[in-house]
Structure 1
Amino acid sequence: MIRITLIGSGNVAQHLIKAFAKSESIEMVQAFSRQKEALTHLLDSDTITTDFSNLKETDLYIIAVSDNAIAEVSKQFPFQNRLVVHTSGTASLDTLDSKNRRGVFYPLQTFSKNKEVDFSGIPFCLETENESDYAILETVAKSISNSVFPISSEQRKALHVSAVFVNNFTNHLYQIGQEICDEHQVPFEILKPLIQETAQKINILNPAEAQTGPAKRNDSNTIETHLEYLTNENQKNIYKLLTQSIQHNGKTF
């Protein structure tokens, strides 16, 4: 059984605590939080510490804090030569203090406090400085997920940027779509089957093959009608930019 200490109390930390609690090969020995109350609904109070000097010896320390805090947190560990990893999609392995063995334990998923996730399908991107530490991380990841990949810091940056496009930016476009619907008293619910079909399509088609719409068809009349209809300048600019991008990247019909 692998003994784990988790540092942090945000979305990622809380979801990991829940996932590890279901694993028979993981023992959550301790968690660090600046405020105990942030984790008492998940762990016994005695398991939570607010003092780095009270950290117990375990096999793995997972830092699940904001990217800006990773370096400072790793410096505060009162020990050396233990396996310390972070969960960031963008911070390099070198962000961690070199007094300990360093690694990355990155779950590529969006986490919200009020939305449960199934970790079995979440890809984990792992990186370590040596093979024996990778084996530990791989065991931990496979105890909660069926999707585990060795990914370098440079590759992880590419993944994270890609994830912003396919997740954060796409969700923002959903928000714009809802704003347009709300402005004209149209139920946003009507668009949800379309959203779901588009998302499901890339399970069998690559995104270029799945692309449809007036920009793909070079339907200039429809494009102009849409632009005339939109009154919000920000929405117009986004529409123009995305239309140009679609037309630039593929054949038009």
Structure 2
Amino acid sequence: MISVLIIGNGNVATHLEKAFLSANTIAVKKISSRKLESIPNAMVTILAVSDDAIATISSNIKNSLVVHTSGSFSMEALKNSTHKGVFYMLQTFSKEKEIDFSAVPFCLEAENDEDYLLLERVARTIGVKIYAVNSKQRKALHVAAVFVNNFTNHLYTIGNDICEKNQVPFEILHPLIQETSEKIKILSPKKAQTGPAIRNDERTIKNHLKGLPKDQRKIYKLITQAIKNGN
């Protein structure tokens, strides 16, 4: 049995605790980052806290292996005097939405092989996609994830606003969104690109721009030009 302590009370901590509770080989405990007076001992301590809190909280932990779940911070952000590592899950987490951890990539890093193998054992109790990713690679992955997830979701928000303004249900766009995400599994994103920008259809582009407010027009122009440039 592997003892795991999760520190945090946000989306990642909530989903991790639920998943580990269903794993037969994991004994899991979870505490809030505000209740660090008495920290239980554990083989692996996972800091599922905000990036800015990693250094402060980790400096107060004496457990043998302490890891954080950040995509943008290096392993050296941990300030504990014991062993360090990273247990980064490349996925978007919301408390209201269930997570299928078998589809989640686990990006692991540790200071030595023994610790890495322990983190791998922990990850395999709830997932199957395991990757050895160093801090430089993880930072690049996190930037890429912001583009494909956070920025894309903001574009969904704009699309939803346009639909609402024109009294059209946003769900009409769901099949298009689904097909786009499925297509890039077999084609490179560049080869999958369609639309007026890639066709250099200036008439359609100008027509679209006329109907957009200033902020949306800026975004439309910027992305259109990037597509034209092949970026």
TM-score (norm 1): 0.89
Tell me, yes or no, if structure 1 residue 138 matches structure 2 residue 120.
yes
- List runs of 5+ in structure 2 lacking aligned partners: none
Is the 8 Å Cα contact of residues 197 and 224 (structure 2) preserved in structure 1? yes
The ranges of structure 1 where at least 4 consecutive aligned residues each deviate by more than 6 angstroms after the TM superposition are: none
Q: State how many pairs are aligned.
A: 231
Query: 1:241 is matched with which residue?
Result: 222
Moved more, 157-166 or 182-191: 182-191
Q: For residue 58 of structure 1, report the CA deviation from its aligned partner.
A: 1.6
- Aligned partners of 1:13 and 1:34: how far apart in 2? 11
Describe the superposition over 1:73-94 as per-residue Cα deviations: whole angstroms up to 9, x where unpaired: 00112x26x1000000111100
Describe the superposition over 1:128-169 as per-residue Cα deviations: whole angstroms up to 9, x where unpaired: 010000000000011111100000000000000000000000
Query: 1:65 is matched with which residue?
Result: 49
Q: Residues 17, 98 of structure 1: CA spacing in aligned structure 2 closer, same or farther, 3 A cutoff? A: closer
Superposed, 1:116-195 pairs within 5 Å as: 116-195=98-177
Paired amino acid for 2:50:
S
Is the 8 Å Cα contact of residues 60 and 80 (structure 2) preserved in structure 1? no
Paired amino acid for 1:51:
L
Query: 2:195 is matched with which residue?
Result: 213
- Aligned partners of 2:192 and 2:225: how far apart in 1? 17
Paired amino acid for 2:229:
H
- Aligned partners of 1:169 and 1:92: how far apart in 2? 23
Identity %: 55
Is the 8 Å Cα contact of residues 66 and 80 (structure 2) preserved in structure 1? no
- Aligned partners of 2:49 and 2:147: how far apart in 1? 23
Paired amino acid for 1:6:
I
Q: Pairwise CA RMSD of aligned residues?
A: 1.2
Q: Residues 34, 126 of structure 1: CA spacing in aligned structure 2 closer, same or farther, 3 A cutoff? A: closer
- List runs of 5+ in structure 1 lacking aligned partners: 36-49
Tell me, yes or no, if structure 1 residue 51 matches structure 2 residue 36.
yes
Query: 1:15 is matched with which residue?
Result: 15
Query: 1:104 is matched with which residue?
Result: 86
- Aligned partners of 1:92 and 1:169: how far apart in 2? 23
- Aligned partners of 1:217 and 1:85: how far apart in 2? 48
Is the 8 Å Cα contact of residues 88 and 107 (structure 2) preserved in structure 1? yes
Q: For residue 98 of structure 1, report the CA deviation from its aligned partner.
A: 4.4
- Aligned partners of 1:238 and 1:229: how far apart in 2? 13
- Aligned partners of 1:190 and 1:227: how far apart in 2? 22
TM-score (norm 2): 0.97
Tell me, yes or no, if structure 1 residue 201 matches structure 2 residue 201.
no
